[in-house]
């Protein structure tokens, strides 16, 4: 399968370092506030990449850090009169909670910067020992960019061009304006740890290299993040690791395109953001996933609530299709069905959708193309149901619904799966009252009620027909007319999720 390596600007065959295994790392959030849906897009993209690699049979080890010490956290803590630790702990939990609501799988390893200080100090000592870093009097330690012959290899920037663009900073402790902090000497009121250079805390780029090395071993197969991390963050991570351990940090660097609002990158500083929490309070996670996955992960994604509303409709269409297929198969199970060309055509549509899904995902995780294959199968399935009336081929019909559920499941879209608790048992009582039903099966009771209502309508006994309908809706059910007949289903829960 092909993956796009932003380091080479080209797609390349994915060749795991260890056969059958993928080790991947995706930079996590700085936990000073709720994340916004732009951040959510990046984490969701890598969730799907990870899920698909597992689906292909790779044994995937996925690590993601929490940056729980940083200027932004310290500033937020000072504004609110709290400790940095309190702020970081609150928003680490909030991040984990929102990721789970979005059905993003937990990482296998979730290191926190504040728990990894010894590994970072060890890396910095290694860099100083090899002449790639230097400590200055105030307790800061800097990475010497010009000491790294491969500097620029991730972002494609040249050191001399960077030099021209570098701001003349007031910081006179640095030997070169290009150098960046590996360790920052403690300032009053800031969290700090003991180190060979006195009390201090790590610079932002330090943690990821140290964690990747400690938990996954370098080089790893895939290193990911949003495209805004390519420079300087990933460039610096790469330089630290390459100089310290004399190996590249990652074989493939993958970066997601930015989520935008009105053409502008969503960001905290511009104020044009929606938090993931507020969006998930209003919309089902699967609608958010569907919206995001309808754009390739490397392309920019224009977000609007109008688009998200449209996606709710698309999700309903898929859910309805799966439910109607299963229901039609259920109704038809007793009948003798003679195999027709239409059955073969549905079988071919299933096989075609599977193949196309795999082809699109194998081409650098083209979820937009993969979803087009899924929607194509839904359209073919609906057409089949319309054409066949109630006389469907059970196995072809179930294969179509199972395939829709399976392929969407690979993308982490799981609400289309039919509920296990199909119809409420109260239907039995209602059917006993309204339709003279004497059994104890909710599905049979539904049939009896629908037959009684149809009979009442045929006799123009509207009062009775309405009473049956009202009884049904009082149980939270609605009637849906399908080609295979009328069926009862749970009324849609609407946009909001509990």
Footprint of Zn ion (CB under 5 A): 27, 208
Residue 132 within binding range of ligand AMP, rule CB under 6 A: no
In the complex, least distance from residue 65 CB atom to Zn ion, rounded to whole angstroms: 7
- CA angle centred on 456, ends 426 and 435, rounded to 5°: 30
* Residue 396's binding partner out of Zn ion, ligand AMP, none, with CB under 5 to 8 Å set by partner kind: none
Q: Which of 166, 409, 136 is nearest to 286 (CA)?
A: 409
Of 7, 22, 24, 41, the residue at the interface with ligand AMP (CB under 6 A) is 41
* Residue 267's binding partner out of ligand AMP, Zn ion, none, with CB under 5 to 8 Å set by partner kind: ligand AMP
Helices (runs of H) and strands (runs of E) counted in the chain: 16, 15
Residue 42 near residue 225 (C-beta atoms within 8 A): yes
In the complex, least distance from residue 231 CB atom to Zn ion, rounded to whole angstroms: 12
* Residue 41's binding partner out of ligand AMP, Zn ion, none, with CB under 5 to 8 Å set by partner kind: ligand AMP
In the complex, least distance from residue 132 CB atom to ligand AMP, rounded to whole angstroms: 25
In the complex, least distance from residue 412 CB atom to ligand AMP, rounded to whole angstroms: 17
* Ramachandran angles phi, psi of 430, nearest 5°: -60, -45
Closer residue to ligand AMP (CB): 110 or 457: 110
Closer residue to Zn ion (CB): 27 or 380: 27
**CA 364 from centre of chain:** 16
- Return the residue matching tokens 């609407």: 494
Beta strands in 159-210 (DSSP E): 180-185, 200-202
What is the 8-class DSSP label of residue 252?
Answer: E
Q: Tell me how long the chain is.
A: 498
Nearest residue to ligand AMP by CB is 226
Residue 76 near residue 33 (C-beta atoms within 8 A): yes
In the complex, least distance from residue 287 CB atom to ligand AMP, rounded to whole angstroms: 18
Please tell me the distance from the alpha carbon of residue 377 to that of residue 400, in angstroms, as a whole number.
8
Closer residue to Zn ion (CB): 27 or 445: 27
Residue 453 within binding range of ligand AMP, rule CB under 6 A: no
Closer residue to ligand AMP (CB): 5 or 256: 256
Closer residue to ligand AMP (CB): 24 or 388: 24
Report the chain's terminal Cα–Cα distance, integer Å.
39
Taking residues 227 to 266 in sequence order and writing x for each that binds ligand AMP by CB under 6 A, - otherwise, the string is -xx--------------------------x-xx-----xx
Of 267, 340, 387, 394, the residue at the interface with ligand AMP (CB under 6 A) is 267
Residues 6+ away with beta carbon under 8 Å from 39: 29, 226, 276
Number of C-alpha atoms within 13 angstroms, CB side, residue 273? 20
Positions touching ligand AMP (CB under 6 A) are: 27, 29-30, 38-39, 41-42, 225-226, 228-229, 256, 258-259, 265-267
């Amino acid at each position: 399968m092909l993956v796009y390596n932003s380091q080479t600007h080209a797609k390349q065959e994915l060749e795991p370092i260890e056969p059958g295994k993928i080790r991947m790392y995706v930079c996590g959030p700085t936990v000073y506030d709720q994340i916004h849906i732009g951040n959510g897009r990046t984490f969701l993209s890598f969730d799907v990449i990870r899920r698909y690699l597992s689906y292909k049979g790779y044994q995937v080890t996925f690590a993601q850090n929490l940056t729980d010490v940083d200027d932004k956290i310290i500033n937020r803590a000072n504004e609110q009169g709290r400790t940095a630790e309190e702020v970081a702990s609150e928003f680490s939990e909030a991040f984990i909670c929102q990721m789970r609501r979005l059905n993003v799988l937990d990482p296998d390893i979730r290191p926190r910067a504040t728990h990894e200080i010894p590994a970072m100090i060890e890396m910095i000592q290694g860099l100083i020992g090899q002449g790639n870093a230097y400590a200055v009097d105030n307790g800061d330690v800097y990475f010497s960019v010009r000491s790294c012959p491969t500097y620029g290899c991730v972002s494609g920037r040249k050191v001399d061009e960077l030099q021209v663009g570098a701001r003349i900073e007031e910081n006179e402790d640095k030997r070169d304006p290009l150098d960046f902090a590996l360790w920052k000497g403690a300032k009053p009121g800031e969290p700090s740890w003991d180190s060979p250079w006195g009390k201090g805390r790590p610079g932002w780029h330090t943690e990821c290299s140290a964690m990747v090395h400690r938990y996954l071993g370098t080089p790893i197969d895939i290193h990911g993040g949003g495209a805004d991390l390519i420079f300087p963050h990933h460039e610096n991570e790469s330089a630290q690791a390459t100089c310290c351990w004399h190996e590249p940090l990652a074989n493939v660097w993958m970066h997601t395109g930015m989520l935008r609002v009105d053409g502008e990158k969503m960001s905290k500083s511009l104020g044009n953001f929606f938090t993931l929490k507020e969006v998930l309070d209003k919309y089902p996670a699967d609608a958010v996933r569907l919206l995001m996955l309808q754009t390739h992960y490397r392309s920019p994604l224009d977000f609007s609530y109008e688009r998200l509303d449209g996606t709710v409709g698309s999700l309903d269409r898929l859910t309805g299709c799966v439910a109607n297929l299963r229901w039609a198969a259920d109704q038809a199970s007793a009948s003798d069905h003679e195999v027709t060309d239409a059955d073969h055509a549905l079988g071919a549509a299933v096989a075609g959708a599977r193949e196309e899904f795999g082809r699109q995902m194998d081409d650098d995780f083209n979820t937009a193309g993969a979803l087009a294959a899924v929607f194509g199968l839904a359209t073919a399935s609906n057409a089949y149901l319309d054409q066949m009336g109630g006389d469907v081929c059970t196995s072809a019909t179930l294969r179509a619904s199972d395939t829709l559920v399976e392929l969407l499941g690979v993308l982490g879209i799981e609400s289309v799966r039919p509920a296990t608790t199909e119809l409420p048992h109260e239907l039995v009582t209602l059917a006993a009252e309204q339709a003279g039903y004497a059994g104890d099966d909710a599905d049979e009771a539904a049939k009896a009620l629908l037959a009684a209502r149809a009979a009442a309508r045929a006799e123009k006994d509207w009062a009775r027909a309405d009473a049956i309908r009202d009884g049904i809706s009082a149980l939270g059910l609605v009637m849906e007319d399908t080609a295979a007949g009328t069926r009862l289903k749970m009324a849609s829960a609407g946009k909001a999720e509990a």
